[in-house]
A and B are shown apart, each in its own frame.
Chain A
């Protein structure tokens, strides 16, 4: 029993439960209290994860630390088994950080910016429900990364579905209902298939303990059963990741979700899928992984190329970032598919880097939407660097980080994944993986192409005077009402550049992107030992 992990789950849960207590709403004091509450709870959770990171024994990162193991449902062999090791620790910290930054984004300052959904609004935008949903979401995300029992993992994996559904369906854009339903149906379909795979593992080995299963390295399971289980588990995780043919829920969900929803979706939820590959699919089912790795690699490479080409065709900025996620997750999957320590390390690195960079991109896209009322690139016009120099430069920075510029975080994941593909694990066809590598390399070029194209369309050039419903401009007037469809002619001066609350939420991300880009060893040293253990390599 370890208090840190329990508290990591307990604090957001208690924070959410406290919101159920009745108190007077729609008052200024109530709103203030709610903001403080959100900041405090997510801040304490983040602080706990920092405590966890500080107390972690980095010399022995492969060992599961802070372990807590309690019986929950003996009839199902379900144990409340939590712990962290080198691959879950960075993800836990990333999760708490992003939730905290989302709270900062929502609550900073007077909290009346257009992206700040907690501000009181006529008709109510239900700020309390939003904070409640985000905190429950946080419980599910942290729990997924901490769980060391297959069924417990599954339970937490499912916990995020309903809150995310409501985040999209209630606070989303115009087509939010359809997007939310698509999201939940798709991911649930993946989840049930995942459950079948997990139960198959359980039926074959008789245990749900991930540590024991990883240590056994597939002994006790026949090869064919492993392949079957890998397919089921893999499909379940691939929907979440998302992998190429199963990705179609992602663009709609991302486009419609509010900024904080997109940030958490891209920053953390997608990682739950890839984390599952590293934690369950590959170590527990080595034979299955070896048999299916070429397929995984092929789908990953198709995803990279497909995502990049789709990005080139997008007009909507948020949609483009969503498709770019498919490409980036393709690199992550390619890294896993190599089954080598280098590749898997690259995948895990790319995972974290993608979480940071795409979160930043979605934050900025949300800010653009708040200012221009649209993220449609032709309508944005261009010339952002001259009109909103700070926002324009931040967009440039995030885009350059995302396309994999050396020196920024995005580079290492892709480079290591491609390097892994150059020398795949024994038993895998090298020519095939060389092809994958070549195609992946082509993908990096295409990625650079669409990001640069986007920048040239949006940040460069001359700004157009027509601006669609500049919401932020109206904030100073105190009205805050959004008038969709109205096209206003406004002067450049009336649109505000980056505001305090935005900067507060973005600076930590920028710093981390620089840190990981310039000093990748910080992360690789943590994940490296675990990856070697999980792959059974010496």
Chain B
């Protein structure tokens, strides 16, 4: 059989793949001159922007979702039934196909859902490439490999939301994950990086194994890998086979206890656990702190936004597109995970003194907020999750960009480096404060506030009142560390006694009130020397980081003033079937 491929549908992928190839070739054949590094960065940036342009062009085009890599429905496949009650042949021919689309099964679908996630990944990719340019300007990381791996990750992140079968989903997810280990480890001289890479590798491999097990169970039960077909087969509460066989007392008890085969529950739990690792949901979160801190900052930003978005795209596809008939089973599970994730993430973030670590744990907490709407038994909850994800991406990338800027000046990366940032560098200070307030969800950071309102609204509307209360408490906890950080930005550095001393208005009593303040004085002096020591990196790296901050800042401000922009992007209705 010959498949026809819709090249327009896969054009963003092609652009990225071709750029990746070009980067490798250029890296191999360009002379080792100073301009080679920025040139490769520029090529990568062009490629990502080109892919983003194609996605935008696909988005403005009207009409049905584009489908490709299809097989006709009548194709004689391995239609063996896993369990007697789940006969695909009979169920597949039922009137379940939405809109008659059951005629063909497609692996790759470009619909609103796909476009939102692809656009998000590529826009975040632009920022990550900009941050990478600064990271690579120092000159001790191989450039070609870096950009090649980065582009591969983006290919995965763009392909994943378009996937409509389990195999492609898993492959795309691995394509997102695998290059990230290498990216983390590319700073070979750094012990922390290597440790982070190994941790990430182990966690990721384990999670893939767990998820594959779940996926194979799903396939084994239903005999199909297509999400659409899975949804048809697992449409309603599936009866326990034994219960059907005989009306004896034992079976009826079973029927009450298990409305569907236990193996399906196991499969769901395994799949959710697998994705839980990817999005760093509790109890699969423990890797986040070390990995974010050890990885180069652009990679941490990538992990916290692109990789996380991909994980959520996959989770939503499996849960909503494939398993929506079983929502009564997985929704409570997701709700509990969401509650745990936001609580544990926030509590861990409370005690952090390191900027990236704090962002790591806080992004775990934010994962909880994104998960929360999925824990409500409501079809439209998905759009609340996606909306939050989009808002979150802009705010978090902005925060990482400023952290990148500051980390170039002070090597330690502690929160104390941020003391008085608003006076040293008012633009960066104000920008970081804005992003943090956004993440906390308070005006003037209206983007974050509206994001939270969207989620709260879904929870209250969908009957997840207890989850709304947990989230409300968590918002307050989160506010504490975000605001404490933001306040540091505006606290003058007590450099020397004399001119600086009156700034803390009655220094000694203030110090007595806040015991840590005394300990921070030598830290402040340390920072200044560190700043003096690390300026060797040159000013070349500043420009892309500045552009990244401005980009994220503009987007965050637009989201604050006109959040409708995001709400308009959201896919209307359910995910298009494959």
Instruction: From the candidates B454, B490, B514, name the one contacting A170 in the complex (CB within 8 A).
Output: B490
Q: Contacts A73-B564, A76-B563: A484 and B442 contacting too (C-beta < 8 A)?
A: no
Return B501 CB to nearest CB of chain A, in Å. Answer: 7
Beta-carbon nearest neighbor of B462 in chain A: A203
**Interface Cβ pair total, 8 Å cutoff:** 118
B479 A188 Cβ-Cβ under 8 A: yes
Beta-carbon nearest neighbor of B561 in chain A: A72
A166 B490 Cβ-Cβ under 8 A: yes
B437 A162 Cβ-Cβ under 8 A: yes
B468 A196 Cβ-Cβ under 8 A: yes
A122 B472 Cβ-Cβ under 8 A: no
A196 B479 Cβ-Cβ under 8 A: no
A188 to B453: give the CA distance in the assembly, Å. 14
Return B505 CB to nearest CB of chain A, in Å. Answer: 8
Chain A residues in 8 Å Cβ range of B454: 75-76
Q: Contacts A122-B502, A196-B460, A196-B468: A177 and B513 contacting too (C-beta < 8 A)?
A: yes
Return A412 CB to nearest CB of chain B, in Å. Answer: 35
Q: Decide yes or no whether B475 CB sits under 8 A from chain A.
A: yes
Q: Decide yes or no whether B499 CB sits under 8 A from chain A.
A: yes
Instruction: From the candidates B449, B480, B500, B510, name the one contacting A158 in the complex (CB within 8 A).
Output: B449
A188 B469 Cβ-Cβ under 8 A: no
A99 to B454: give the CA distance in the assembly, Å. 34
Interface size class of B (residues with CB under 8 A): 35 or more
* CB contact list, A121-157 vs B, under 8 A: 121-125, 129, 136, 140, 151, 155-156
Chain B residues in 8 Å Cβ range of A140: 443
Q: Decide yes or no whether B444 CB sits under 8 A from chain A.
A: yes
A124 to B505: give the CA distance in the assembly, Å. 10
Chain A residues in 8 Å Cβ range of B567: 73-76
Chain A residues in 8 Å Cβ range of B371: none
Q: Decide yes or no whether A514 CB sits under 8 A from chain B.
A: no
B472 A159 Cβ-Cβ under 8 A: no
Return B493 CB to nearest CB of chain A, in Å. Answer: 12
Chain B residues in 8 Å Cβ range of A484: 506, 508-509
* CB contact list, B429-482 vs A, under 8 A: 437, 442-444, 446, 449-450, 453-454, 456-457, 460-461, 465, 468-469, 472-473, 475-476, 479-480
A192 B453 Cβ-Cβ under 8 A: no
B456 A123 Cβ-Cβ under 8 A: no
B476 A185 Cβ-Cβ under 8 A: yes
Beta-carbon nearest neighbor of A124 in chain B: B503
Q: Decide yes or no whether A292 CB sits under 8 A from chain B.
A: no
B469 A199 Cβ-Cβ under 8 A: no
Return B516 CB to nearest CB of chain A, in Å. Answer: 10
* CB contact list, A185-200 vs B, under 8 A: 185, 188-189, 192-193, 195-196, 199-200
B475 A121 Cβ-Cβ under 8 A: no
Q: Decide yes or no whether A33 CB sits under 8 A from chain B.
A: no
B443 A192 Cβ-Cβ under 8 A: no
Chain A residues in 8 Å Cβ range of B472: 189, 192-193, 195-196
Chain B residues in 8 Å Cβ range of A156: 443
Q: Contacts A123-B500, A151-B453, A193-B472: A75 and B564 contacting too (C-beta < 8 A)?
A: yes
Q: Contacts A123-B503, A124-B503, A177-B514: A158 and B443 contacting too (C-beta < 8 A)?
A: yes
Q: Decide yes or no whether A488 CB sits under 8 A from chain B.
A: no
A200 B502 Cβ-Cβ under 8 A: no
Return B429 CB to nearest CB of chain A, in Å. Answer: 12
Return A472 CB to nearest CB of chain B, in Å. Answer: 17
The SS class assigned to the B binding surface is helix
Chain A residues in 8 Å Cβ range of B456: 192, 195-196, 199
Return B437 CB to nearest CB of chain A, in Å. Answer: 6
Per-residue A-contact encoding for B407-445, CB less than 8 Å = 1, 0 else: 000000000000000000000000000000100001110
Q: Decide yes or no whether A439 CB sits under 8 A from chain B.
A: no
Beta-carbon nearest neighbor of A481 in chain B: B502
Instruction: From the candidates A121, A122, A129, A181, name the one contacting B484 in the complex (CB within 8 A).
Output: A181
B480 A185 Cβ-Cβ under 8 A: yes
Chain B residues in 8 Å Cβ range of A189: 472-473, 476
Per-residue B-contact encoding for A479-512, CB less than 8 Å = 1, 0 else: 0011010000000000000000000000000000
Chain A residues in 8 Å Cβ range of B460: 196, 199-200, 202-203
B450 A76 Cβ-Cβ under 8 A: yes
Chain B residues in 8 Å Cβ range of A200: 460
A162 to B482: give the CA distance in the assembly, Å. 12
Chain A residues in 8 Å Cβ range of B513: 174-178
Q: Decide yes or no whether B248 CB sits under 8 A from chain A.
A: no
Beta-carbon nearest neighbor of A236 in chain B: B472
Return A4 CB to nearest CB of chain B, in Å. Answer: 23
A203 to B505: give the CA distance in the assembly, Å. 49
Return A499 CB to nearest CB of chain B, in Å. Answer: 22
Return B491 CB to nearest CB of chain A, in Å. Answer: 9
A178 to B514: give the CA distance in the assembly, Å. 8
Chain A residues in 8 Å Cβ range of B483: 162, 165, 181, 184
Beta-carbon nearest neighbor of B504 in chain A: A123
Give the A interface residue count (CB, 8 A): 45
A155 B443 Cβ-Cβ under 8 A: yes
A70 to B266: give the CA distance in the assembly, Å. 51
Instruction: From the candidates A72, A170, A184, A202, name the one contacting B457 in the complex (CB within 8 A).
Output: A202
Q: Decide yes or no whether A169 CB sits under 8 A from chain B.
A: yes
Q: Contacts A155-B449, A189-B473, A193-B472: A174 and B443 contacting too (C-beta < 8 A)?
A: no
Q: Decide yes or no whether A161 CB sits under 8 A from chain B.
A: yes
Chain A residues in 8 Å Cβ range of B457: 76, 199, 202-203
Residue of B461, B499, B501, B505 with most chain A CB atoms under a 10 A cut-off: B505
Return B124 CB to nearest CB of chain A, in Å. Answer: 22
Q: Contacts A178-B513, A484-B506: A76 and B453 contacting too (C-beta < 8 A)?
A: yes
Beta-carbon nearest neighbor of A184 in chain B: B483
Q: Decide yes or no whether B487 CB sits under 8 A from chain A.
A: yes
B563 A73 Cβ-Cβ under 8 A: yes
Beta-carbon nearest neighbor of A170 in chain B: B490
Residue of A124, A174, A185, A189 with most chain B CB atoms under a 10 A cut-off: A174
A195 B453 Cβ-Cβ under 8 A: yes
Chain B residues in 8 Å Cβ range of A202: 457, 460
A185 to B446: give the CA distance in the assembly, Å. 18
Instruction: From the candidates A76, A121, A159, A170, name the one contacting B443 in the complex (CB within 8 A).
Output: A159
Chain A residues in 8 Å Cβ range of B514: 177-178
Instruction: From the candidates A74, A165, A174, A181, name the one contacting B510 in the complex (CB within 8 A).
Output: A174
Chain A residues in 8 Å Cβ range of B492: 123-124
Chain B residues in 8 Å Cβ range of A125: 505
Return A379 CB to nearest CB of chain B, in Å. Answer: 16
Beta-carbon nearest neighbor of A194 in chain B: B472
Chain A residues in 8 Å Cβ range of B449: 155, 158
Chain A residues in 8 Å Cβ range of B505: 125
Chain A residues in 8 Å Cβ range of B475: 188, 192
Chain B residues in 8 Å Cβ range of A159: 443-444
Beta-carbon nearest neighbor of A165 in chain B: B483
Chain A residues in 8 Å Cβ range of B512: 174
A244 to B364: give the CA distance in the assembly, Å. 36
Q: Decide yes or no whether B568 CB sits under 8 A from chain A.
A: yes
B443 A162 Cβ-Cβ under 8 A: yes
Return A315 CB to nearest CB of chain B, in Å. Answer: 18
Return A102 CB to nearest CB of chain B, in Å. Answer: 20
Return B19 CB to nearest CB of chain A, in Å. Answer: 35
A191 to B560: give the CA distance in the assembly, Å. 19
Q: Contacts A155-B443, A185-B480, A203-B460: A174 and B506 contacting too (C-beta < 8 A)?
A: yes
Chain A residues in 8 Å Cβ range of B437: 162
A166 to B460: give the CA distance in the assembly, Å. 32
Supply 22 A–B pairs (Cβ within 8 Å), ascending by A. A75-B567, A75-B568, A76-B453, A76-B563, A76-B567, A123-B500, A125-B505, A140-B443, A158-B442, A162-B442, A165-B483, A174-B506, A176-B513, A181-B480, A184-B479, A185-B479, A189-B476, A192-B472, A196-B468, A199-B460, A484-B506, A484-B508
Nearest 7 A-B pairs (CB), nearest first? A75-B567, A123-B502, A192-B472, A123-B503, A199-B460, A159-B443, A174-B509
Q: A75-B454, A195-B453 are in contact. List 5 more A-B contacts (CB 8 A).
A: A74-B564, A151-B453, A155-B449, A166-B487, A181-B480
